[in-house]
Chains A and B, each alone.
Chain A
Amino acid sequence: MTSVQTTSMTADAREALDRAGFSRRDFLKRSGALIVTFGAAGVVSNLGLTSDVVLAQGINGSPGTALDSWIAIAADGRVTAYTGKCEFGQGLFTAQTQLVAEELSVAIDRVTLIQCDTALTPDQGTTSGAQSHPANFNTSNLALAGATAREALVQLASVRLGVPIGELSANDGVVSAMSDSSKSVSYGELVGGKTFEIQLNPDARRKHPSTWRVLGTPVKRLDIPALATGQYEFVHNVRVPGMLHGRVVRPPAIGSNLIRVDESSVQGMPGLVKVVVRKNFVGVVADKPWQAVQAAAKLKVEWSAGTTLPAQRTFHDHMRKSPVRDGFTVDSGDVDATLASAARVVKATYLYPYQMHGSIGTACAVADVQGEKVTVYSASQAVHPLRNTTAMLLGVPPTDVRIIFKMGPGCYGVNGADTVSYDAALMSQSVGRPVRVQLARKDEMAWENYGLAYVVDQQVALDASGTIVAWDYAGWSPTRGGRPGGNAPGNVVTGFLAGFEPQRFQPRTPAPPPQGGFDNGSNTAPSYVTGCVGTECGGCGVVKSERVLNHTVESPFFTGPLRSPARLQNTFAHECFMDEIAASLKADPVEYRLRHLRDPRLRAVLRAAAEMAPWDVRPSPKPAARRTGVVTGRGVACVLYEGDNGYCANITEVDVNQDSGVITVKRCVVAMDSGPISNPDGIRNQVEGGTLQGVSRALLEEVSWGTDRVTSVDWRSYRPLYLGAAVPKVESILLNQTDVAAMGAGETAVTVTAAAIGNAFFDATGVRLREIPFTTERVKAALQRR
């Protein structure tokens, strides 16, 4: 059943296998079967799919429990580890290498990490949703494999040396008797080149963070020297013998169908190999990339008219009027009554646009389809799921498809990596030779799975003392497609064009009562409610009368997870609204938050940021602010990301030029608690990048469209924060909690930035901005209404 051609293995992987003394066939025997499971709401949210609508593969896949599928020791004692969570620029390759080195007590340069290859590595589903640390750095999977291997080695050494386990210690790949260092044996001598043949031991003990020597230290990223010198092999740099180059020809408008392709229009063009058509999918294959570009530009294709899109200007109202699929995050059943008897009710509505992943490089993949043997080099976050859907697309068994991860440009979610893998696979299948495809900028931007637009209606009931006694949230967000998961290639554009439907949208109203426990995976519930579902209360706050109703509507565009999907949008609405409530009571925003928070770790990050800033304790807005020229303000926001996966508080200082409408973010103090820190410099880099990306999304980014097509198709029509822009100084405070589980850190900081900026703007001007992005036009208009 071998699905892999030896020639298609990368040199690194081959070398690692050789070093580890294994054949690939051994790995194939061990590779886990694809198991499709019903996802819980949080999982479904991470996958960008609508809850209950689809059968989703679990976000963390189905890794096996055989130690040999995770760790191998070569004859020279070198360690090779296999992981299904991969590097996307977040530093995970290095952090996982640190983890393995730490648990196995070897130097970091003795570890080779092989990541995300369906023929080699455990099926760990998707690398997303800041789930890699929870999955691999606690007491299962890679961390458990490391601990199991170390204990197994010590046990073997005990037998070999005749010394009790308790009197042995493992250091630098050697197990020695603590009392007599002459009694020692190396890992290579113990198991070198052989398999362990044991299962992961759930009782294997991880090293406590207080004893870490490699993990927890600011090890420099292992890949940066190659990146900085142009040696790093991105998926864009993969070259295989006989490789051709493909270029896609996408429809001109949403809903256009293919009528006719005039192949004679490109006949005789230099290097042209084939025009590939499958339903609405059109591509050209040529010997060289520039030839493919030219042929695609010249190819005459007739398309039907597109569909009329809802107007952008009124899109948020359009969502309110659309058929809905409703679900509750929480509903205590008494919200209407509490509102009716309230001393006062505060209301506001927040709006968020569609935004793009907008990766710096357009997506690229190389596919080699030789009959039923398929190899795809892909920057997908989900190699095992992609194996399944590629097989569906090509009509071959999944076991004959191998997906090999190669890094692409930062993706921040489901960018074009999956769709371009399908593009390359379809074209390669058609020509019977390897094909490399890199998308044109426009083809990527016009057809992305965009981050969600949102409408959030908020209202709270206040008692006579100004305490919140009921919180009522209703949110509308659009959906179409999403991650392909294990079974839906039509969730991204290429699969759709080739004839697969996106996951079907099924309206449902009213919402059934919430069940199965409190799941705040999309941060639809604010931090200030108790989050009680059944007998369990999972919220961070004290407000007992609580209702969070989510309306999902059909999107005209593909949607999918974009860094902090839904969580950023909802946190913007919650944290700005909390600020509005505090301002209406002339309460200090930090103190007012603390009054409604019971989670000690969320309180701790909020206090840490306030102390470091230092926070100017007083109500907003700032007294006696001028109405012209530049004014300054400070704002705060906090969150427990996904309801259980990383604490963060951000205090932001802004300048507002009231004449030009320009907001300049000056300083962001960001406190984080994600449990034990694997690499302090890595987490700082994530805090800085996440915060600045949050600034870009708060101030600038918005997908635009016309009557039948997206008009944000390049960096002029979708303008993010360039390097020349004035950016804030980001100061991170890391709360290193060593006696709790590791949480995610990649999506936490970006979640709170927009709200902190909006609140700082209010503090400076007394004007509330309730729609992202805070463009200069919107700022000026809001100031004029004052």
Chain B
Amino acid sequence: MAVFNLRVNGRSHSVDVDPATPLLYVLSDDLELRGPKFGCGLSQCGACTVNIKGRAVRSCVTPISTLDNSEITTLEGLGSPESPHPLQQAFIDEQAMQCGFCINGVIMTAKALVDQTPNPTDAQIRQAMSTVLCRCAAHQRIFQAIRIYVQANAARRTA
């Protein structure tokens, strides 16, 4: 066991855990966050994705000991039901999910993509999403929601 300090969604936390503990377990169990999900534990589905330094990180295979003190953003860190992030709002507007279990990975992967590539092409979106799984197969609406966000984002930047 060892003490680790981490910053999640703008707040500081200190946890005393086995250094091999994957970040996902700390987020879901110790911090009781509901955004990141355990899907496979193998980095194969994306359900556990969080953003660190603007990148999409699979928290299920990221031991807590490998992290520096960089800010970790989870789905609930982007916005709330009362005040959703524009990307989340696009998913709400498009009703772009069914069971919604995958949507953490979808949104956090898309967020990292657009943070790094502000105006991605459809091919770039597909590439970024190529290792994210949605078993309800809401593909059509998910892509539409991401496109709407990208377009609105581009409009905001040029405004």
Residues of A within 8 A of B (CB): 88-91, 220-221, 223-234, 236-237, 239, 245, 270, 288-291, 294, 358-362, 407-410, 412, 438, 440-441, 681, 685, 688-693, 695-696, 714-716, 720-727, 729-730
Per-residue A-contact encoding for B56-93, CB less than 8 Å = 1, 0 else:
00000000000000000011101111001100100110
Q: Are A289 and B25 in contact (CB under 8 A)?
A: yes
The docked-state distance in angstroms from the alpha carbon of A714 to that of B44 is 8
Q: Pick from A232, A362, A715: contact of B38, CB below 8 A.
A: A362
- B50 CB → nearest A CB, Å: 11
The docked-state distance in angstroms from the alpha carbon of A440 to that of B44 is 13
Q: Are A229 and B88 in contact (CB under 8 A)?
A: yes
14 A-B pairs whose Cβ atoms sit less than 8 Å apart in the complex: A228-B81, A228-B107, A229-B80, A229-B88, A290-B17, A360-B45, A361-B101, A412-B135, A685-B138, A692-B138, A695-B137, A723-B143, A724-B127, A727-B139
Q: Is residue B12 contacting chain A, with contact meaning CB distance below 8 A?
A: no
Interface residues in B1-55 by Cβ distance below 8 A to A read 1, 17-18, 20-22, 25, 28-29, 32-42, 44-45, 47
The docked-state distance in angstroms from the alpha carbon of A407 to that of B100 is 10
- Of A90, A230, A231, A726, chain B has the most CB atoms within 10 Å of the CB of A230
Residues of B within 8 A of A726 (CB): 126
Q: Are A229 and B44 in contact (CB under 8 A)?
A: no
Q: Is residue B131 contacting chain A, with contact meaning CB distance below 8 A?
A: yes
Q: Are A441 and B42 in contact (CB under 8 A)?
A: yes
Given contacts A233-B34, A723-B106, contact A361 B39 (CB under 8 A): yes
Q: Are A714 and B140 in contact (CB under 8 A)?
A: no
Interface residues in B103-159 by Cβ distance below 8 A to A read 103-104, 106-107, 126-143
Residues of B within 8 A of A681 (CB): 95
Q: Pick from A88, A360, A721, A724: contact of B47, CB below 8 A.
A: A360
Residues of B within 8 A of A412 (CB): 135
The docked-state distance in angstroms from the alpha carbon of A231 to that of B35 is 7
Q: Are B22 and A290 in contact (CB under 8 A)?
A: yes
Residues of A within 8 A of B18 (CB): 270, 290-291, 294
- A303 CB → nearest B CB, Å: 23
- In the complex, what residue of chain B is closest to A91 when comparing beta carbons? B98
- In the complex, what residue of chain B is closest to A357 when comparing beta carbons? B135
Q: Pick from A289, A360, A696: contact of B29, CB below 8 A.
A: A289
Q: Are B129 and A230 in contact (CB under 8 A)?
A: no
Q: Are B25 and A288 in contact (CB under 8 A)?
A: yes
Residues of A within 8 A of B80 (CB): 229, 231
Residues of B within 8 A of A (CB): 1, 17-18, 20-22, 25, 28-29, 32-42, 44-45, 47, 74-76, 78-81, 84-85, 88, 91-92, 95, 97-104, 106-107, 126-143
Q: Are B38 and A438 in contact (CB under 8 A)?
A: yes
Residues of A within 8 A of B33 (CB): 230
Residues of B within 8 A of A221 (CB): 95
Q: Are A722 and B132 in contact (CB under 8 A)?
A: yes
Given contacts A290-B25, A685-B141, A689-B136, contact A225 B84 (CB under 8 A): yes
Q: Are B92 and A228 in contact (CB under 8 A)?
A: yes
Q: Are A715 and B40 in contact (CB under 8 A)?
A: yes
Given contacts A225-B84, A226-B81, A233-B34, contact A358 B100 (CB under 8 A): no
Q: Are B99 and A410 in contact (CB under 8 A)?
A: yes
Q: Are A410 and B132 in contact (CB under 8 A)?
A: no
- In the complex, what residue of chain A is closest to B91 when comparing beta carbons? A228
Q: Are A223 and B100 in contact (CB under 8 A)?
A: yes
Q: Are A234 and B101 in contact (CB under 8 A)?
A: yes
- In the complex, what residue of chain B is closest to A727 when comparing beta carbons? B139
Residues of B within 8 A of A220 (CB): 92, 95
- In the complex, what residue of chain B is closest to A291 when comparing beta carbons? B18
The docked-state distance in angstroms from the alpha carbon of A540 to that of B141 is 34
Across chains A and B, which 7 residue pairs bring their CB atoms closest together, nearest first? A724-B130, A230-B35, A89-B99, A227-B100, A692-B137, A230-B75, A410-B99
- B68 CB → nearest A CB, Å: 21
- In the complex, what residue of chain A is closest to B60 when comparing beta carbons? A441
- A711 CB → nearest B CB, Å: 15
Q: Are B106 and A231 in contact (CB under 8 A)?
A: no
Q: Are A410 and B1 in contact (CB under 8 A)?
A: no
Given contacts A230-B33, A715-B45, contact A692 B139 (CB under 8 A): yes
The docked-state distance in angstroms from the alpha carbon of A693 to that of B37 is 22
- A164 CB → nearest B CB, Å: 44
- In the complex, what residue of chain B is closest to A440 when comparing beta carbons? B41
- In the complex, what residue of chain A is closest to B75 when comparing beta carbons? A230
The docked-state distance in angstroms from the alpha carbon of A409 to that of B97 is 11
- Of A231, A358, A440, A724, chain B has the most CB atoms within 10 Å of the CB of A724
Q: Pick from B21, B47, B92, B140: contact of A224, CB below 8 A.
A: B92
Q: Pick from B28, B79, B135: contact of A720, CB below 8 A.
A: B135
- Of B44, B100, B106, B137, chain A has the most CB atoms within 10 Å of the CB of B137
- Of B98, B134, B141, chain A has the most CB atoms within 10 Å of the CB of B98
Q: Are B104 and A230 in contact (CB under 8 A)?
A: yes
Residues of B within 8 A of A695 (CB): 137
The docked-state distance in angstroms from the alpha carbon of A409 to that of B84 is 22
Q: Pick from A409, A688, A720: contact of B138, CB below 8 A.
A: A688
Q: Are A723 and B130 in contact (CB under 8 A)?
A: yes
- B20 CB → nearest A CB, Å: 8
The docked-state distance in angstroms from the alpha carbon of A409 to that of B34 is 13
Residues of A within 8 A of B142 (CB): 723
Q: Pick from B88, B95, B100, B135: contact of A232, CB below 8 A.
A: B100
The docked-state distance in angstroms from the alpha carbon of A89 to that of B141 is 14
Q: Are B133 and A722 in contact (CB under 8 A)?
A: yes
Q: Pick from B45, B100, B126, B139: contact of A89, CB below 8 A.
A: B100
Residues of B within 8 A of A696 (CB): 137
Q: Pick from A89, A224, A231, A236: contact of B37, CB below 8 A.
A: A236
Residues of A within 8 A of B100 (CB): 89, 223-224, 227-228, 232
- Of B17, B45, B136, chain A has the most CB atoms within 10 Å of the CB of B136
The docked-state distance in angstroms from the alpha carbon of A160 to that of B29 is 55
Q: Are B88 and A228 in contact (CB under 8 A)?
A: yes
The docked-state distance in angstroms from the alpha carbon of A78 to that of B97 is 29
Known A-B contacts: A89-B101, A270-B1. Give 4 more (CB < 8 A): A228-B84, A690-B137, A715-B44, A715-B133
Q: Are A360 and B130 in contact (CB under 8 A)?
A: no
Given contacts A89-B100, A288-B25, A409-B101, contact A724 B131 (CB under 8 A): yes
Residues of A within 8 A of B28 (CB): 236-237, 289
Residues of B within 8 A of A691 (CB): 137
The docked-state distance in angstroms from the alpha carbon of A293 to that of B80 is 32
Q: Pick from A227, A239, A288, A714: contact of B40, CB below 8 A.
A: A714
Q: Pick from A88, A290, A360: contact of B134, CB below 8 A.
A: A360
Q: Are A693 and B129 in contact (CB under 8 A)?
A: no
Residues of A within 8 A of B84 (CB): 225, 228-229
Given contacts A220-B92, A270-B1, contact A361 B37 (CB under 8 A): yes
Given contacts A89-B136, A723-B139, contact A237 B42 (CB under 8 A): no
Given contacts A361-B47, A692-B137, A722-B131, contact A441 B97 (CB under 8 A): no
Q: Are A410 and B135 in contact (CB under 8 A)?
A: yes
Residues of A within 8 A of B103 (CB): 227-228
- A109 CB → nearest B CB, Å: 14
Q: Are B34 and A224 in contact (CB under 8 A)?
A: no
- Of B97, B102, B107, chain A has the most CB atoms within 10 Å of the CB of B97
The docked-state distance in angstroms from the alpha carbon of A359 to that of B137 is 11
Q: Pick from B76, B106, B135: contact of A358, CB below 8 A.
A: B135
Residues of B within 8 A of A229 (CB): 75-76, 78-81, 84-85, 88
Residues of A within 8 A of B102 (CB): 360, 409
- Of B1, B20, B141, chain A has the most CB atoms within 10 Å of the CB of B141
The docked-state distance in angstroms from the alpha carbon of A245 to that of B29 is 10
- A380 CB → nearest B CB, Å: 15
- A645 CB → nearest B CB, Å: 20
The docked-state distance in angstroms from the alpha carbon of A362 to that of B139 is 21
Residues of A within 8 A of B38 (CB): 236, 361-362, 438
